[in-house]
């Protein structure tokens, strides 16, 4: 019920692929949207389908705390619970534990400054990670085995091993020790996964850590290649700037078994996706499209942006208060075919929540249009031209 | 471009009608949904269309303050601005000014206790009502003439005269003086309306005040009947309990010119609508369906309610945390065909805004199903049986 096939395209390391799951197929390169708490923020599953979405993910950490994996299992699993009957992925829960533990790992991965947040990570041991619920302070221990058990109950097609998500500001020797712990956890995850022989219903991704250190990334690749994972996900810190991120991604994909799908965790910028595709990445995920919408931002192509070096416009800007044009004149989404920038500006100023829905709708459809354009251009050997239509590179 | 036709149904005073506007027809009895700030809370115009909605209204008061009538006029009027291309009504702005001025008039109209809110109404004079913006404290004077001018700029099909919305707790002599002021304002509204001979594009409703006093309500009816209004709206206090409301509505509709459509302002309870239809009301409006949704409530028929004397269930109740059934098994809405009560409960607990969207979608479609069922039952002479399916009366 699972398969992954791909072909090289001749454009750098870019490849076109097809990922088959029990809930449907995903044409790659593809973007995986984040339905963090088993819901896309502000959007219904009809919206997601209409926007051409292939696959979404939910976060094990959030669902472990609320409503709990038992509830979702009893309700028939994530796809039945959410009404999204297509392919799904869950993460291991580790990223959020370490993110809340170390401050914001998400910022660090992208090389940004440390944010200060309440720390809920209590202790990392060989056994696993002990943390407090951000909802009610209740203590939890997440182990490689329990992460697999929770993800089994949630029932997504693609699931991920628990790893320690190494922060950016640590040195090579911490990064190495952390990676070795992640590898021991990965073996325990595989063992738990295989105990139930659930390959027919779910498949497991291994994670490559190693921070910005080429020799560690190579060791991480050797490790995952040597184990029977279905797919590989590139995790951890990717460096302090875009060029370092691209170098880390390039050297990692180069060493990974090409027969397995490669996911790049947490990256969703347009130029970052284009660069990732050129390095051989098959799938991406990020909260960016819907988070940006909640802050009043709309993804637009450079030729629709007064500042073509940016990847979005901010509809809160009063320059849009009497602008009767749509976000993008050639976008077929519900938002662009029904509403002006002036109306979206009004909704944001008036704090009407449907403003977030309409911007999210556009941003989701934008990402799907981008990925479709990438696949067509790779097939037609026009990627070098096409990519310039989507980002100032 | 405007017309109203009706026929008596033989069931009490109930009638079936057809209201023609430049933006389409409305089969009556009908419910008018409140898109207060030129947006349905949590819903797109596609949602409204899919739910079978015929007509919506926006509030002049809110739009006067934000974004301002000039902006909406420049953007082509409400229907173009909002993307809702069907029939629309705007109110005069008076209700909110007096509501914010006297505390909550909405509660008083329904005979409920006074709420305490900051008072923004500064002064009522013969000229009009002076008030402060709740957004920034800016002073405004709303006159009968300026209300018409603003509603002309907004561009809805049906517009309403400015009146003083008399509170509940005042005596007959205050109510009488207030009504006489409203009548003088109504004449000025008509004069302003006729100055632009905009009958081709808009039509004007007069309002009947008079509180709970039969002789005043009769005077109010005589007044509006004698003036060239297109339609009539019943405003002001309707008494302290349901039976008093029904008596006030009955004696008012009895005296109104039957050739004009009759609107009942601010009433949206299911049993209240059924009673109103039996008294000859053609249209209703209320924020209830979407406000209830934002508080976690879903409208359901008595046979889908553990407490059949109530008209909704509250999805926040933990009894629904593992309930895999839809809100109503026979409801064709997106919410009922895709999601369980357990999922809706989860969305509310997790503070996912799409929970409000999904409950609003159901509640809007519920109201449209109710009004369609009412019209069919009136046509088939089965209203006496049908009404029991919708409310415990």
The partner residues of B17 in beta bridges, in order of sequence, read: B6, B28
User: Are the Cβ atoms of B338 and A71 closer than 8 angstroms?
Assistant: no
The residues, ordered by sequence, that sit 6+ positions from A80 with a Cβ below 8 Å of its Cβ are none
Length of chain A measured in residues: 393
Nearest Cα of chain B lies from the Cα of A10 at a distance, in angstroms, of 43
Per-residue pLDDT of chain A (393 residues; tens, 9 = 90+): 899 999 999 999 999 999 999 999 999 999 999 999 999 999 999 999 999 999 999 999 999 999 999 999 999 999 999 999 999 999 999 888 887 666 544 554 454 544 455 678 888 899 999 998 888 889 999 999 999 999 999 999 999 999 998 877 789 999 999 999 999 999 999 999 999 866 589 999 999 999 999 999 999 999 999 999 999 999 988 888 999 999 999 999 999 999 999 999 999 999 999 999 999 999 999 999 999 999 999 999 999 999 999 999 999 999 999 999 999 999 999 999 999 999 999 999 999 999 999 999 999 999 999 999 999 999 999 999 999 999 998
Name the active-site residue from B46, B91, B247, B330.
B91
- The confidence score (pLDDT) of residue B108 equals 45
B372: left (phi over 0), alpha (psi -120 to 50) or beta: alpha
Give the closest of A74, A334, A352 to B322, CB-based.
A74
Q: Are A139 and A184 a contacting pair, CB within 8 Å?
A: no
- What is d(CA B284, CA B294) in angstroms, rounded to the nearest whole number? 21
What is the SS3 string spanning chain A?
Answer: CCEEEEEECCCCCCEEEEEEECCEEEEECEEEEECCCCCCCCCCHHHHHHCCCCCEEECHHHHHHCCCHHHHHHCCCHHHHHCCCCCEEECCCHHHHHHHHHCCHHHHHCCCCCCCCCCCEEEECCCCEEEECCCCCCEEEECHHHHHHHHHHHCCCEEECCCCCCCCCCCHHHHHHHHHHHHHHHHHHHHHHHHCCHHHCCEEEEEECCCCCHHHHHHHHHHHHHCCCCEEEECCCCCCCHHHHHHHHHHHHHHCCCCCCEEECCCCCHHHHHHHHHCCCCEEEECHHHHHHHCCEEECCHHHCCCCCCCEEECCCHHHCCCCCCCCCCCCCHHHHHCCHHHHHHHHHCCCCHHHHHHHHHHHHHHHHHHHHHHHHHHHCCHHHHHHHHCCC
Query: Which pLDDT value is given to residue A201?
Result: 93
Question: Phi then psi for A36, rounded to 5 degrees?
Answer: -45, -60
Nearest CB to B353; choose among A41, A339, A361 = A41
Q: What is the pLDDT of residue A134?
A: 83
In the block, which residue shows the tokens 């693609």?
A: A158
User: Among this protein's residues, is A91 annotated catalytic?
Assistant: yes
pTM to 2 decimals?
0.94
Contact criterion met (CB below 8 Å) for B175 and B183 = no
Q: Model confidence over A106-129: pLDDT tens digits?
A: 554 454 544 455 678 888 899 999
From A171, A285, A303, A324, active-site residue: A285
| Rounded CA separation A383/B40 (Å) | 42
Interface test with B, best of A45, A66, A336, A354 (most B CBs within 10 A): A354
Provide φ and ψ at A204, rounded to 5°: -110, 135
In the predicted model, residues of chain B with pLDDT beneath 70 are 100-118, 197-199
Q: For residue B188, what is the DSSP state?
A: H
How many alpha carbons lie under 13 Å from residue B195 in its C-beta half-sphere? 12
Report chain B residues whose CB lies below 8 A from the CB of A352. 37, 39, 41
**Nearest alpha-carbon partner for A265 in A296, A289, A235:** A235
Please judge whether B42 and A353 are an interchain contact, meaning their C-beta atoms are less than 8 angstroms apart.
Answer: yes
Q: CA–CA separation, A178 vs A208, rounded Å?
A: 12
Task: Give bridge partners of residue A57 from the DSSP assignment.
Answer: A34, A89
- Whats the size of chain B, residue-wise? 393
Residues of chain B with Cβ-Cβ distance to A74 below 8 Å are 322, 324
Q: What is the DSSP letter of B199?
A: G
pLDDT given for residue A168 in this prediction: 75
Under 8 Å CB pairs connecting chains A and B tally to: 121
A46 and B321: CB-CB below 8 Å?
no
Rounded CA separation B391/B393 (Å)? 6
What are the distances in angstroms from CA B59 to CA A198, A298, B92, B286, B345? 57, 28, 8, 12, 31
Query: Is the omega angle on the peptide bond into residue A165 within 30 degrees of 0, that is, cis?
Result: no
Half-sphere exposure of B160 (CA within 13 A, CB side): 29
For A341-359, write each residue's pLDDT tens digit: 999 999 999 999 999 999 9
Cβ-defined contact of A346 to B71 (cutoff 8 Å): yes
Other C-beta atoms within 10 Å of B262: how many?
Answer: 27
Q: State the Cα–Cα distance between residues B190 and B156, nearest whole angstrom.
A: 16
Smallest CA–CA distance, residue A32 to chain B, in Å, is: 19
**Residue in B closest to A354 by C-alpha:** B42
d(CA A218, CA A176): 12
Sheet order of strands, B24-28 included = B3-8, B15-21, B24-28
**pLDDT for A113:** 46
Residue B134 with chain A: CB contacts under 8 Å: none
**Minimal CA separation from A354 to chain B, in Å:** 5
Which residues in B have their CB inside 8 Å of a CB on A? 37-46, 62, 66-67, 71, 74-76, 81-83, 321-322, 324, 334, 338-340, 342-343, 345-347, 349-350, 352-358, 361
Measure CB to CB from residue A39 to each of B334, B345, B354 and give the nearest one: B354
Contact at CB, B71 and A322, closer than 8 angstroms: yes
Task: Give the residues across from A4 on adjacent strands.
Answer: A19
Contact B66 A324 (CB under 8 A): no
C-alpha span between B234 and B250 (Å, rounded)? 11
**CB within 8 Å: A66 and B350:** yes
Domains of chain B as residue ranges with CATH: 3-43+55-286 (3.20.20.105), 294-386 (no CATH)
Among B157, B272, B282, B285, the one annotated catalytic: B285
Alpha-carbon span A259 to A239, nearest angstrom: 27
Q: Among this protein's residues, is B303 annotated catalytic? A: no
pLDDT at position A101 is 66
DSSP codes joined into one string, B141-174: EE-HHHHHHHHHHHT-SEEE-------TTS-HHH
DSSP calls for B81-102:
HHS--S-EEE--SHHHHHHHHS
A81–B44: do the CB atoms touch at under 8 Å? Answer: no
Give the bridge partners for B298, in sequence order. Answer: B313
> In this structure, what token pair is assigned to residue A191?
């063992």
Of B45, B67, B357, the CB nearest to A349: B67
Q: What is the pLDDT of residues B334-385, one digit of tens each?
A: 999 999 999 999 999 999 999 999 999 999 999 999 999 999 999 999 999 9
Two tokens, residue B293: 């949704």
Q: Which residues of A touch B65 (CB under 8 A)?
A: none
């Amino acid at each position: 019920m699972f398969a992954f096939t791909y072909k090289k395209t001749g454009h750098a390391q870019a490849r076109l692929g097809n990922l088959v799951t029990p809930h449907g197929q995903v044409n790659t390169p593809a973007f995986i949207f984040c339905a963090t708490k088993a819901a896309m923020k502000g959007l219904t599953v009809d919206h997601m389908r209409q926007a051409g979405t292939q696959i979404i993910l939910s976060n094990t950490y959030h669902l472990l705390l609320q409503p709990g994996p038992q509830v979702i299992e009893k309700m028939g699993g994530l796809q039945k619970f959410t009404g999204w009957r297509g392919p799904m992925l869950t993460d291991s829960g580790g990223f959020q534990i370490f993110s809340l533990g170390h401050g914001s790992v998400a910022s660090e991965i992208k090389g940004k400054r440390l944010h200060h947040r309440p720390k809920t990570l209590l202790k990392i041991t060989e056994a696993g990670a002990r943390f407090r619920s951000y909802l009610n302070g209740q203590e939890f221990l997440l182990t490689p085995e329990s992460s697999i058990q929770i993800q089994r109950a949630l029932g997504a097609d693609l699931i991920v091993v628990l790893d320690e998500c190494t922060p950016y500001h640590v040195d090579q020797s911490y990064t190495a020790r952390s990676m070795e712990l992640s590898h021991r956890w990965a073996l325990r995850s595989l063992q738990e996964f295989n105990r139930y022989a659930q390959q027919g219903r779910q498949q497991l991704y291994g994670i490559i850590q190693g921070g910005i250190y080429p020799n560690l990334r190579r060791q991480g690749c050797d490790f995952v290649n040597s184990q029977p994972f279905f797919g590989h996900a590139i995790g951890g810190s990717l460096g302090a700037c875009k060029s370092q991120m691209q170098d880390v991604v390039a050297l990692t994909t180069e060493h990974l078994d090409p027969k397995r799908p490669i996911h790049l965790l947490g990256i969703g910028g347009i130029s970052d996706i284009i660069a990732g595709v050129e390095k051989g990445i098959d799938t991406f995920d990020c909260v960016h499209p819907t988070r940006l919408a909640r802050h009043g931002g709309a993804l637009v192509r450079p030729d629709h942006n007064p500042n073509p070096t940016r990847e979005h416009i901010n509809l809160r800007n009063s320059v849009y208060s009497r602008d009767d044009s749509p976000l993008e004149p050639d976008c077929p989404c519900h938002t662009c075919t029904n509403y002006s920038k002036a109306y979206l500006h009004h909704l944001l100023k008036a704090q009407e929540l449907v403003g977030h829905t309409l911007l999210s709708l556009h941003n989701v459809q934008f990402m799907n249009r981008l990925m479709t354009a990438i696949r067509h251009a790779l097939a037609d050997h026009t990627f070098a031209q096409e990519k310039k239509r989507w980002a100032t590179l």
